[in-house]
Amino acid sequence: MKKTISLICIIVLVLTMSITFLVGCKSSDYDFTVMVYDRGEGFDYEDNITTQWINNNGPATIKWVPIQRTDFVGQLNAYLAAKDYPDVIHTYDRTHAMSLVSTGLFEDITDLFKEHCEETYRTAIDDSGLFDYDELIRNYCSVDGKQYIVPAIRPSVAQNGIYIRQDWLDKLDLDMPTTVEEFYDVCLAFSQNNLDGLPAGTKVYGYDFAYAGLSVLYNMFNVRPYPESMDMNVDEEGNVIVDILGQNFKDMITLGKAMIENGIANPEYITDKDGVAASTAFNTGRMGTSPSLWHSARFVTAMSIQADTYGVNPEVVGVPALKYNGKIMPYFQTEPVSTNILIAKKAKNKDKIMQWLNWMLLGEDNTSGGWFTLANGFEGDNFIYKNIDGEKTVEKIPLGTIPAPPAWYGAAYKLDLDYTKTGMWKFVDTYPAEYRPYTQKIDEYGDYLATLHYAHNVWQPIREAADFEANFTLEYQQILAKVLKDSTYSVDKAMQDLQTKWNEMNGNYYVGLYSAQYKSRAN
Amino acid sequence: MQTELTLKRNKKKFVWFNLFNNIILIIMAFLCLYPFLYILALSFSSGIAISRGSVSIIPIDATFVNFKVILSNPMFIRSLVNSVILTVVGVVWTTSMTVIMAYPMSKQLKGGKVVSTMVLLTMLFSAGMIPNYIWINTLKLTNTFFAIWLPSTVNVFNLLLVRAFFREMPKELEDAARIDGCTGFQMFLKIVLPLSMPVIITIALFALVGYWNEFGGSLIYLRSADVMTLPVRLNALINDGMVGGVGILSPEEMVFFSKEGAKAAAIIISALPMVLIYPFVQKYFAKGIMIGSIK
Amino acid sequence: MDKSMKKKKSKVIDLPLAKKRGIKRTELYLYLMLIPGIIFFILFRYVPMYGIVMAFQDFQIGLGFADSPWVGLDNFARIMQDPYFWNAMKNTMILNLLVFFFGMPVPILFALLLNEVAGPKFKKAIQTIVYLPHFVNWVVYAGIVIMMLSPSTGIVNFIIKTFGGDPVAFMENSKWWRVVYVGADVLKGFGWASIIYYAAIVSVDQEMYEAAKIDGASRAQRMRYLTLPSIAPTINIMLILQIGKIVTIGFDQVWTMSNNMVLDVSEVISTYIYRRTLGPQAGLFPQFGYMAAVGLFQSLLALVLVLISDRISKKIGQKGII
């Protein structure tokens, strides 16, 4: 009896080990590997309509490699260390891309890009009237004249903005806020009135700090929190301004603190890292504004449910950029190259990769590329073409017969391998014309464009400062969270502690390094 | 000699003491049990009830949506499967290797002292997190289960436990077997092993718990979604809020959903296997530890 | 003694070769059985020690050992000056001490109380329940603790609010965090730890207890002269082990229970190293060399402490563990 048990054990052992081996050495019938963000979501990367469609219709067969979105830099580091990273990687953070380039593991694609992509890109970019192709490539995609980055551009109006319940404003007979103070008052009013008629005792908020909430706040006060972010303000002489020690930051945390103390914002925003709780609150009438990605209108279907459930008439509009100290603070927009795509030196089929990227990003006539299907779905099932004013436009069919890929970035979306998902999602994003304003053609919003703050993300990361940046960021985050949530910790004390820490850790020296870099490049 | 009075008084003290004793024990047991009941209640409660903080021990506005979201998340299921694979193979591997090594060490062999010293020294000093990481990387084992199995092949405490057990085995058994013509490995397999089942099962169970609950190593080495195990996925869910798959809920169900509820549901699912197993195997553990402690 | 015994065993015919090496054919299989284990120890315990050279380099992953620049003892000099390291060291020791002082008595107390219980069913039930927290991992347990202490949805704050108090964010408050940490550690582990003590207690001959009872020893006296001495050796060994481990702390519990708000008390050496090399603050230039030096420093310190405590223990007459 015991012998049979041990025999069984050995068989199980051998079986499972061989299975693991086999699974590991899956057939390499793909041309190259492409990175995709793992957001812990409810679908399979290999087995869904979109990825299969891409593989069937694109010029190459690819294998997706999911990398965790949270703590992405650390995760990618581990892959790089293991020398087992995908052939195509992308990152939203240009400084990160630059540091990746400096590892020497990524290919100089200047010639490859010229050969396969330049023509289509040049046309598309110049056509958009927004940027100049050569300048774009030179400033954002190259280092010392060598191009490493394949650009993906997102010409939406702004990265982060504020949506607001216009119907709530109407109910309370309030005007659209134009200044920061007015915005605060509006949020306060929202939080004190249960305007959708939810069950008594339900907590209603005015604003939230999760996800985009804090960065919208930073923007409202023109604070670029180095070293937490590598986007820095620079004065006329080319010196980096340390915003977090300045008056604007002080005003910002005063406002934030007041928001939490007066029940306008949820103090437990820290654990809501992807903003799901916040957006759920907004969708279910428990929040009056939604600081979020401005190029997606995720709330639409949810709002219609809210309408049916509570008999309200939700109307969501964008809040125009607010004034701080009399000046309009434009919403934040990432630098023109919003997604930096890098190609590994070790990749085997680089030509195919370029062709594939070209197809994904632009397609033949800018309407049939991979991105288009990702954004809109399949004709007849998820959208139909309509003729509006003589122009062929896409009109979505709500709840199409096949669940469509969620159109996270709408018509302006060019490429985000992040969202190659379908099959499990209901079609929650419709784009009726009314909700397109913020993702529509930029021409109509020329004013906004002029005042957009494109990130000054032209920095080369400085190795010497790495330690300081890591340590100070932790201190800074601790102080920030404390001042917002702890009623016994005053704003003045926080500013003092920040200054002390900054001096202790010699922050001015490191900032000086960046200033020097800026000045030497300004030529 | 005690008089009747002192006997009675002692009895009364006895009763009071017992009551007091038992109450304290019950309180301690309650403190151990209640948190789990609380999370169980949370996982079945609606979002609104949770946000009001009114859940204490029974679910309010009971709903299954949290479990639906977690269980239909393929990434979560995959991590569950990965944990199972990691554990099953790991237990067989670790147990067999430990036993195989412990047996010769229980004999007086030439060079046995060297081996013992080599083993014991590892208890005092280890390479450290970073050198180990670089080494595993060099061996190209990152993002494979082997990064966990191989470095855990032999646990020194378990090794010593089994060795002690083997040493305790009466020599007469082996002598008798030898006389019957059975020698060497055969003797090990046919005589020694069957008799050591208690200790083998004990260390197998230690390994079971160890592999299933493995977190630190998995966090470092098992980052790819295909090999990610349950604790790491759960950690991402709880600490980084990576709750995905909400899209499968119908709008009516969405009302009941909450992130806290989802976290609670995930916790319950993760804890369930061990919670179900351990009552049945605790006697092995107790025995094993007693053997070990005496040594 | 060994040699004579070996001679007695050599009744079997030996292969000439084996006899030369002093290995008997019959024992060959034993050596073979040892080989996999030895390979394991060498390959996964000793070989990685080579990586310790990283502590003397400015190690960069892309360059590897061969090409990373050497910095000699610079990393160690940096350790001396690094306030974050010393903070982590301080936290490590404080947490270990707290857990020791509060965590050591509880399992003993529990074992003692349990021993006094008469009904076997009740005893078994209590035991089963208190073992429960040990069998889940820290991700689960810390998750439970965090959710229970949530200021808005947690039960603890709900009770506080019902009594009119203000909700306390336990997990984000530096003063409370340590309390929670120790409490969680004790609650999770006391049941399991009590096994050893309980085993020692019941190993005492029941007859001695009876004899003592007849001799009129009170319950307290029985405890003092019989029970406690029976667990004294166990306590002693635990003590030695703990002293050696005072500069080391497990990763799992601290990592799952800490958050950015309480880093000043929750950052310990293991998380300090992890965070900056493979974790969230690794940034664009993770400091592998320096962190390897930190790890080495810690291991050496732990080693020294174990040796010292072992020697002390031997000096005062107790058995050591080496």
**Smallest Cα–Cα separation from B243: which of A89, A279, A402?**
A279
Q: For position A491, what pLDDT does the model report?
A: 94
Q: What is the pLDDT of residue B96?
A: 92
Buried b (16+ CB within 10 A) or exposed e, B64-94: ebbbbbbbebbbbbbbbebbbbbbbbbbbbb
Reading the block at residue B192, the tokens are: 């020694």
Q: How far apart are CA C315 and CA C309, in angstroms?
A: 10
Q: Do C129 and B32 touch (CB under 8 A)?
A: yes
Beta strands in A311-390 (DSSP E): 316-318, 323-324, 327-328, 332-333, 337-343, 383-388
B286 contacts chain C (CB < 8 A): yes
Q: Is residue C11 part of a domain?
A: no
Least Cα distance to A109 among A354, A348, A360, A460 occurs for A354
In degrees and rounded to multiples of 5, residue A421 shows phi and psi of -130, 150
Given CB atoms, is C147 within the 8 Å cutoff of chain A? Answer: no
Instruction: Pick from C285, C288, C290 the residue to mutate for testing the A interface (most A CBs within 10 Å).
Output: C285
What is the C-alpha separation between A358 and A120, in angstroms, rounded?
A: 8
Give how far C261 is from chain A: nearest CA, Å: 5
Whole-number pLDDT of residue B266: 92
Give the model's pLDDT for residue C320: 56
CB contact under 8 Å between B240 and A41, yes or no, is no
Any domain includes C223: yes
Tokens (6 digits) for B12:
């009364």
Of A283-292, A326-335, C120-129, the least confident: A326-335
Count of residues making up chain C = 322
Nearest-by-Cβ selection for A78 from C261, C278, C281: C278
CA angle, residues C222, C223, C225, in degrees to nearest 5: 65
Comparing CA positions, the residue from A178, A206, A180 lying closest to residue A193 is: A206
Does B42 contact C203 at a Cβ distance shorter than 8 Å? no
- The answer to whether the Cβ–Cβ distance between A470 and C276 falls below 8 Å is yes
The DSSP annotation for B232-293 comes to HHHHHHHHH-----GGGS-HHHHTT--HHHHHHHHHHHHHHHHHHHHHHHHHHHHHHHHHHH
In this prediction, residue A303 has a pLDDT band, given cuts at 50, 70 and 90, of confident
pLDDT at A184 over 60: yes
| Inter-chain CB pairs, A–C, below 8 Å | 66
Q: Is the peptide bond before C280 cis (omega within 30 degrees of 0)?
A: no
**Counted domains in chain C:** 1
Contact yes or no for A384/A373 (Cβ under 8 A):
no
Mean pLDDT score, C288-306? 90
Alpha helices for A58-211 (secondary structure H): 72-81, 94-101, 110-116, 118-128, 133-136, 166-171, 180-192
Q: Tell me the pLDDT of chain C averaged across its residues.
A: 82
User: How many of the other CB atoms lie within 10 Å of CB of A359?
Assistant: 21
**DSSP labels, A453-499:** EE----PPPPGGGHHHHHHHHHHHHHHHHHHHH-TTS-HHHHHHHHH
Q: For residue A426, which residues of chain B lie inside 8 Å, CB to CB?
A: 247-248
- pLDDT of A409 higher than 50: no
User: In C, residues 58-77, which contact B (CB 8 Å cutoff)?
Assistant: none
Q: Which residues of A touch B229 (CB under 8 A)?
A: none
Interface confidence (ipTM) of the complex: 0.89
Out of B38, B154, B234, whose CB is closest to C37? B154
Contact B115, A39 (CB under 8 A): no
Classify residue C9: in a domain, yes or no.
Answer: no
| Cβ contact A149:A142 at 8 Å | yes
Q: Which residue has the higher pLDDT, C86 or B10?
A: C86
Q: Does B119 touch chain A (CB under 8 A)?
A: no
β-partners of residue C255 are none
Structural domain for C130, as ranges: 78-315
State mean pLDDT over A333-339: 68
The answer to whether residue A13 neighbours chain B at the CB level (below 8 Å) is yes
Q: Which of A49-53, B166-170, C3-7, C312-316 has the lowest mean pLDDT?
A: C3-7
Q: Which of A69, A148, A138 is nearest to A106 (CA)?
A: A148
What's the DSSP call for residue C61? T
For position C240, what pLDDT does the model report? 72
Establish how many alpha carbons lie within 13 A of residue A332's alpha carbon, considering only the half-sphere containing its beta carbon: 26
- Is A201 in CB contact (< 8 Å) with chain C? no
3-state secondary structure of A142: strand
User: In the structure encoding, which two tokens stand for residue B16, read together?
Assistant: 């009071």
What is the percent of chain A where pLDDT is above 70?
68
Interface of A with B in 244-283 (CB under 8 A): 271-274, 276-277, 280
pLDDT band, very low/low/confident/very high, at A43 (cuts 50, 70, 90): low
Cα nearest neighbour of C63 on chain A = A103
Interface partners of C (3+ CB pairs, < 8 Å)? A, B
Residue C276 domain flag:
yes
pLDDT recorded at residue B247: 61
Using an 8 Å CB-CB cutoff, list chain B residues near A284: 254-255
Conformation bin of residue C283: beta by default, left when phi > 0, alpha when psi is -120 to 50: left
DSSP letter at A411 equals G
Choose the closest CB to A268 out of C151, C263, C283: C151
* pLDDT tens-digit profile, chain B (295 residues): 556 666 666 666 667 778 888 899 999 999 999 999 999 999 998 877 887 777 788 888 888 888 888 888 878 888 999 999 999 999 999 999 999 898 888 888 778 888 888 998 888 888 888 899 989 988 888 888 999 999 999 998 889 888 888 888 887 877 777 777 777 777 777 777 888 888 888 889 889 999 999 999 999 998 887 889 999 999 988 877 666 666 666 667 777 888 888 889 999 999 999 999 888 877 777 766 666 655 4
User: Strands A332-333 and A453-454, how do they pair?
Assistant: parallel
* Residue C322 resides in a domain: no
Q: What is the mean pLDDT of residues C207-214?
A: 76
Q: In this complex, which of B53, B231, B282 lies closest to C157 when CB atoms are compared? A: B53
C-alpha A407/C-alpha B92 separation (Å) is 48
C-alpha–C-alpha distance, residues B96 and B154, integer Å: 9
Beta-carbon separation of C285 and A268 below 8 A: no
**Nearest CA among A340, A347, A418, A425 for reference residue A382:** A425
How far is residue C4 CA from its own chain's centroid?
Answer: 42
Question: Mean pLDDT over residues A51-63, rounded?
Answer: 79
H-helix or E-strand spanning residue C290: helix C288-315
Q: Indicate whether A333 pLDDT > 80.
A: no
C-alpha to C-alpha distance for B205 and B210, rounded to whole angstroms: 8
Residue with tokens 């704050």: C157
pLDDT at residue B242 in the model: 65
CA–CA separation, C135 and C195 (whole Å): 14
| B274 reaches A (C-beta below 8 A) | no
Please give the share of chain B, as a percent, with pLDDT higher than 70.
87
Q: What is the CATH number of the domain that holds C98?
A: 1.10.3720.10
Check if C286 contacts A (Cβ < 8 Å): yes
**C244 within some domain:** yes
Please give the average per-residue pLDDT across C47-70, as a whole number: 84
For C260, other C-beta atoms within 10 Å of its C-beta total 18
Other beta carbons within 10 angstroms of residue A374's beta carbon come to 28
CA dihedral for A224, A225, A230, A236, sign (positive or negative): positive
Counting Cα atoms < 13 Å in the Cβ hemisphere of B187 gives: 20
Q: Which one, of A346, A340, A337, lies nearest residue A86 by Cα? A: A346
Q: When comparing pLDDT for A470 and A24, which is higher?
A: A470
In a domain, C246, yes or no: yes
Q: Which residues contact B132 (CB under 8 A, 6 or more apart)?
A: B126, B151, C48, C51
**Is B66 within 8 Å of B265 (Cβ atoms)?**
yes
Structural domain includes residue C54: no
Q: Say yes or no for a CB contact (<8 Å) between B144 and A78.
A: no
Rounded to a whole number of angstroms, the distance between the first and last alpha carbons of chain B is 41
Judged by CB atoms within 8 Å, which residues 100-129 of B form the interface with C?
100-101, 103-105, 107-110, 115, 118-120, 122, 124-129
Q: Which residues contact C176 (CB under 8 A, 6 or more apart)?
A: C168, C170
By the 8 A CB rule, do A491 and A257 touch? yes
Say yes or no: A18 contacts chain B, CB-CB below 8 A.
no
